[in-house]
Amino acid sequence: MQTRMMAAVVAMCGTWLMAPAQPVQADELADLKAHINTMEERHQQEAARHREEMAQMQARLAALEADTRAARRPEAAAAPQALAEQVAALEEEVTAVREEQDTVTQQLNERIDFDLYATMEFENFEGSDSGFDARNVELLATGRLADRLKIFTEIEFERTAVTSGGNRSGEVEVEQGWVEYAINEYVHPRAGVILVPFGRFNLEHFDPIQELTDRPIALRRVVPTTWSEAGAGFTGSAFLGEQTGGWLKDLALTYQMFVVNGVTAVITDTGFRSARGAFGSDNNNNKALVSRVQLSPWPQQALGLSSYVGAYDKDSHNINGLDVDWHAERGPLEFVGEWAWWDLQDGFQTTSAGATTTTAVPSKMRGGYVETRYHFWFDWLEHTFLGRGFEDPTFTVVGRYDAANIADDGDGEGLGLEGPNVEERWTIGLNYRPVETWVLKLEYQNNRTKTEALERGNADGFIASVAAAF
């Protein structure tokens, strides 16, 4: 307090000294003395209050010390029951504090969940140099702000580096980023950057859960996986077994329905990967409606149906799509697949230098895949390096046929490239999973192309990859 009073006095004197020289009046000097006297009185009052508080604290400390000495006297041993009760109460309090801390820790763990997966590939195909590809690292984060409030994001670091030049090129992309509010189990409003629910593969594109390295041709060119859009809509699920009278007791339905910006007019006869919509703008005033409904009549059996209705240019030329997907398991055998159809309205008009021309787009796009998987293991491998220390290691042999057929957009006229672009692929693969989220994949591809190449052309080759998630 003395320091603050002196600082105030010095500040006032400094201000007075820095002011222009003026005669000092008697009444001004009297006011200054009165102000100083007032400050001194306040200081004395505050000092007295502090002395009183210090005395009280010393008295409390003395009482505690007296209690402690009394507890140590021999006669205190005559009351073991009281002491035991005090100890028990203290233990209960400590236990309660620990439980509270555990609860807080558990709540934090439940509210935030991070996952990460990475993929490394090696390929050797005809007509190209072999090489390793550190293809991507993806970060997934789930936040639960409350029981019915959820936020999710998926960020891809493709080829792990972004530089201004050189060979270490790549990109960073938000593949998902949305918030969800659960009204009940049937209706969950969701908004943000969402995975377009057109087919099952786009929703389950993650490398560690796929059995082959390369995505099917159609799931890159006909359905441009990974396909994300900015939009809003609803998801939900319902168990319908009771409504069937017990005939299909496990019958379940899930759905997703969103309004999104939609694809753009950058559509060619090699697909429309470049037509995926921007997250912050729309090239027309016509939003697209996309939805998927999945029925699961029995455990490990599912059938999905997806649809897309929208426009791709400013003149509202339509693009409509339909997709069917299926997934069935029986013992060690799995049968999965997906097939998609697109129909596009005639080409759109563009104006340049006062002239109006029509740009052609493919009128149709078709494609999909069928895949069979067989999971197996040999007991005699349990004590080898392949099985030792792992609870449920597995081998999987995989066979896949996939194809895409995209109508001609007229860009090959006069070049001998007229007609639809068709590419087919047969793949045979074997993979090894010591644990469910770590997989080594080995596969061989046979590719055949008609007209323009979509993915591999006519090149056959070998691929090996490692994908891991944690």
Residue 181, domain CATH = 2.40.160.10
- Specify the pLDDT at position 249: 82
Cβ atoms within 10 Å of 139's Cβ, excluding its own: 13
**31 within a domain of the structure (yes/no):** no
The whole-angstrom separation of Cα 95 and Cα 50 is 38
CB burial of 309-319 (b: ≥16 within 10 Å; e: otherwise) equals ebbbbeeebeb
The CA distance from 302 to 292, in Å, is: 12
Burial degree of 147 (CB within 10 A; 0-12, 13-18, 19+): exposed
Domain count, the chain: 1
Residue 263 tokens read as 């694809």
Encoding tokens for residue 150?
A: 């959820």
Report if residue 76 sits inside a domain: no
Residue 183 placed within a domain: yes
* Residue 393 lies in domain: 111-469
Residue 324 lies in a domain: yes
CA distance 154 to 64: 58
The verdict on residue 461 lying in a domain is yes
Name residues of the chain where pLDDT drops below 50. 1-25, 72, 76, 78
The confidence score (pLDDT) of residue 265 equals 87
- Is residue 255 in some structural domain? yes
Strands of 331-420, DSSP E: 333-344, 348-352, 355-359, 364-376, 394-406
Question: Are 194 and 381 a contacting pair, CB within 8 Å?
Answer: no
| Rounded-to-integer distance, Cα 166 and Cα 199, Å | 37
341-370: string of b/e by CB count within 10 Å (b at 16+)? ebebbebbeeeeeeeeeeebbbbebbbbbb
In this predicted structure, what is the pLDDT of residue 55?
62
* 189: CB partners within 8 A, 6+ apart: 180, 181, 183, 232, 233, 234
Q: Which two tokens stand for residue 281?
A: 């703008």
First CA to last CA distance, the chain:
59
Output DSSP code: residue 451.
Answer: S
How deeply is 156 buried, as exposed, middle or buried, from its count of CB atoms within 10 A (0-12, 13-18, 19+)?
A: buried
Asked if residue 72 belongs to a domain, the reply is: no
pLDDT of residue 353: 59
Give the pLDDT score at 247: 74
Residue 460 is assigned to a structural domain of this protein: yes
